[in-house]
Structure 1
């Protein structure tokens, strides 16, 4: 990201600003991974607790779900070790190879869980909530902006991840098509996950688990999967243990695919700018992230929410705005068109070129500023 923003900048001031934006992107990606590794460690622990329950090891299972300091540190380190191992192997043998394995496993597990949950009593109520729109609330500006913020996080926008992955793509690839497919897959998985989470919540409600406050708000909204859903699984007997294992296994896979992209951002910068070997760069950055995650766990109440808010509510929208400015205003239109023609010689005649340039130049910055304003004052 640092080099890319420098190369498209016509002046020294813009080159320096572009470099600063790229550096800020890899710092924010690292900060996201710092708190994400903690949450992913919880997912591993809850997954293993299901196995412990199945084997009759109730005390060990209780420890795995206790949120104790040493449990949190241990499973955070396990998760970071998995991530480091994949990134150390490189782009082809690491990222591509494991993504090709993890994504099918994620989809198969997700389909199986959806198929099972939809057969349970109460699931139909969740489907109604999910599929029947409330247009008054759906068109709320606050809700739309919140959804855009979620898209930022889901697609890793504003931290340079897409720039890094884009640099690994062959010049012969049709970039608008690739970008569209990535977005389509992301949205499809999110919709499929909705068929799991919303029905599961109402199955829990049907089974006597409280999921709403008297005012109608969700209980434990931020930690729903670690509070409400385990209570649901506990009402399902032995089947609940299997479903719990499968669910948290699924969440662990999803977390690992995300962490791979987050760690690759700072690693790519260090390799490119400072000439370190990949394994050295991965070990150094992974170690720093592990230390930072441990520091947050030692002062969880004060630091965890602060890091989450700083990265997802403030930093990502600001950096996304800067990337839009460079793509729409700084990058010369003819140079951009030449790059796109490498993968599609007729791109100028297509619908993409008629919409994208002015959209990213005018519409996207305004929307992103709206996200940032909502983060500050919403």
Structure 2
């Protein structure tokens, strides 16, 4: 264990922080959109199965690598090697993985800025500042820079405070707030005409669609990205986890909380979509496909809020506060990955590393904002369709093949005595060696198809 290395002070702190890292726009925006596009209840059923067979086993791999290495992603991956060559290759794998949160944060913070802007716009509407609200809702370089700057500021301030006083402290505040806001929205949305049809569409599966190839691949991909597999966040948070904790159990708790958020998001978003349809908002085309899957949060739902009269601004405020919280719990884990490297390798103070690296990535975001049409989609695709799945595959191969089975057992025994006698250990080592790589390759293939 690295001398003086910070660790999460409690189990609930770790679970909420790690779940917060996974919970983001993929859960609250991506999952309901995928469910709406792929048969509602049928997608939900297959998604839950894929979380169990794809995401959870790989989450244990990443967290175990992090706790074993007790370091940043590069040094943790190096520690798995047994020869100078395998250590060097391991460091390269860690570097590829480290590129993921840096690239994702560059475009994710722009979207986070949009959420901040819409949140402020709802507040402006409440107090009668309608011109300011229109500016905040409008798409402009100035608005995008303004929102992103606030989002980066919040992210940096939390990360610079450290693991216990920053990440853990705010995760234990923000995650419960997320569930409370979801509860308020669900109760309200279910009072709207049309909401019950949306709820039925979401919860009652059409079993004829369960074996649909496109639905299965979409559910697999969503489950994979939902827990940020290959994104380094779980690896770095695993490095802050005490060796007294039962790692498979902690990973399961993180999986359950993350999945709960996605499922609850569907309970709110899909009924809200059907309520919007009841008000005349077009959501599906003649073929039953979403008209605005990429702009659901910023086009469809705001139209619903506007149709609610005077109370719409308050509902919009709650919704965008919720979205901002979800985005923020993810962004702090992304920035933590390079900050930990700079802090450990160069001995740089956490505050200096946070502001320097946060500022550096923010400058890249500025370049994207000024070249939005050509760069935003490109950076997003490179990060999520190329780097993240490839990094996940490499993590899985290294964790399954390079990391000795006896060392894996020794790591998981800490906090889980006699793990080798249980069903988990009888399946997991072989599963992550053969099945998980095949499933990740399927996700990669899907992204290119």
TM score, norm. by length of structure 1: 0.97
Q: How does 1:145-224 map to 2 (within 5 A)?
A: 145-224=217-296
Question: Which stretches of structure 1, 4 residues or more, deviate above 4 A after TM superposition?
Answer: none
Unaligned runs of 5+ in 2: 1-72
Quick one: structure 1 residues 39 and 325, their matched pair in 2 at CA, closer, same or farther if it must change by over 3 Å? same
Q: CA–CA distance in 2 between the matches of 1:369 and 1:141?
A: 16
> Are the counterparts in 2 of residues 152 and 316 from structure 1 also a CA contact under 8 Å?
no
Out of 120, 127, 139, the residue aligned to residue 192 of structure 2 is: 120
Contact persistence 2:194–2:271 (CA under 8 A): yes
Match of 1:39 among 80, 95, 111: 111
Spell out the pairing of 1:184-333 with structure 2 (5 A cutoff): 184-333=256-405
Distance 2:445 2:266 in 1: 27
Per-residue displacement from partner, 1:197-235 (whole Å, max 9, x unpaired)? 100000000011111223322122111100000001111
Instruction: Report the alpha carbon displacement of residue 153 of structure 1 after superposing the two structures with TM.
Output: 2.6
Counterpart residue number, 1:353: 425
Q: Structure 1: how far apart are the matches of 2:327 and 2:429?
A: 33
Which of 141, 144, 154 is the aligned partner of 1:69?
Answer: 141
Summarize the Cα distance change of 1:228–1:94 in structure 2 as closer, same or farther, 3 Å threshold.
same
CA shift for structure 1 position 134: 2.3
Give the superposition deviation at 1:285.
0.7
SS in 2 for 1:164: helix
More deviation, 200-209/152-161: 152-161
Structure 1 residue 2 corresponds to structure 2 residue 2: no
Q: Distance in 2 between matches of 1:21 and 1:274?
A: 20
Q: Find the aligned partners of 1:281 and 1:371 in 2 and give their Cα distance.
A: 34
> What is the alpha-carbon distance in structure 2 between the residues aligned to residue 266 and residue 193 of structure 1?
30
Tell me the secondary structure at the aligned position of residue 90 of structure 2. helix
1:201, 1:172 → 2: CA distance? 45
1:335 to 401, 407, 431: 407
- Measure, in 2, the Cα distance between the counterparts of 1:201 and 1:245: 18
Q: Given that residues 117 and 200 in structure 1 are in contact (C-alpha distance below 8 angstroms), is that contact kept between their aligned partners in structure 2?
A: yes
Shift, 1:11, TM fit:
2.1
Provide the rounded CA distance (Å) in 2 between the counterparts of 1:135 and 1:20.
44
Give the Å deviation of 1:116: 1.0
Match of 2:159 in 1: 87
Q: Which residue of 1 aligns with 2:176?
A: 104
Question: Counterpart of 2:5?
Answer: none
SS in 2 for 1:345: coil
- Structure 1 stretch displaced more, 177-186 or 56-65: 56-65
Assess, with a 3 A threshold, how the Cα gap between structure 1 residues 91 and 46 changes in structure 2: closer, same or farther.
same
- Listed one character per residue, the Cα deviations across residues 111-152 of structure 1 (whole Å, up to 9, x for unaligned) are 111111112110011112101212333322332222222233
Q: More deviation in 124-133 or 165-174?
A: 124-133
Contact 1:267 1:282 in 2 (8 A): yes
2:100 touches 2:232 (CA, 8 Å); kept in 1?
A: no
Deviates more, 1:268-277 or 1:162-171: 268-277
Per-residue CA deviations over 1:151-180 (Å, capped at 9, x if unaligned) read 333212102211110110111000000000
Aligned: 1:138 with 2:193: no
The range that moved more, 25-34 or 142-151, is: 142-151
Equivalent-residue separation in structure 1 for 2:121 and 2:232 (angstroms): 36
User: 69-78 or 266-275: which moved more?
Assistant: 266-275
**Shift of residue 267, structure 1, vs aligned partner:** 0.8
One of 1, 4, 14 as aligned partner of 2:86: 14
Alignment check: 8 A CA contact 1:142 1:374 kept = no
Aligned CA-pair RMSD:
1.1
Counterparts of 1:340 and 1:122, CA distance in 2: 49
